[in-house]
Amino acid sequence: MNKYHINVFYSDDDEGFIADIPDLKFCSAFGDTPQEAVQEVMVALELWLEEAAASNKPIPEPKYKPIIYQVAAV
C-alpha cells in the first residue's frame, strides 16, 4: 500500500479528533482520541482504495507533504 500522509487535529465543532488523508478526496474519519481517529482513517483508506479500483477511478500517488518537511529538505 502507498504511504499517504495523515493529518490529525482536534475539532471543537465535532468534539473529537479528525484524521484525514489530503491526497484522497473525502477520505477522513473521526475518533475520541488521536489514535482512534488514525485507526478509523486506515479503514477508510482501505475502503477508498477498493472503491476507486472497483470503479476504475485513478488512484493518486502520495504527494502531500506538510510545509515543515518541505522546509527541512532545503
Confidence of residue 72 (pLDDT cuts 50, 70, 90): low
Mean pLDDT value of segment 36-53: 98
Is the model's pLDDT at 36 over the cut of 90? yes
Across 1-15, 27-41, 48-62, least confident range: 1-15
Q: What is the pLDDT of residue 54?
A: 98
Confidence of residue 65 (pLDDT cuts 50, 70, 90): confident
Contacts of 41 (CB under 8 A, 6+ apart): 6, 19, 20, 21, 27, 28, 29
Q: What is the pLDDT of residue 29?
A: 98
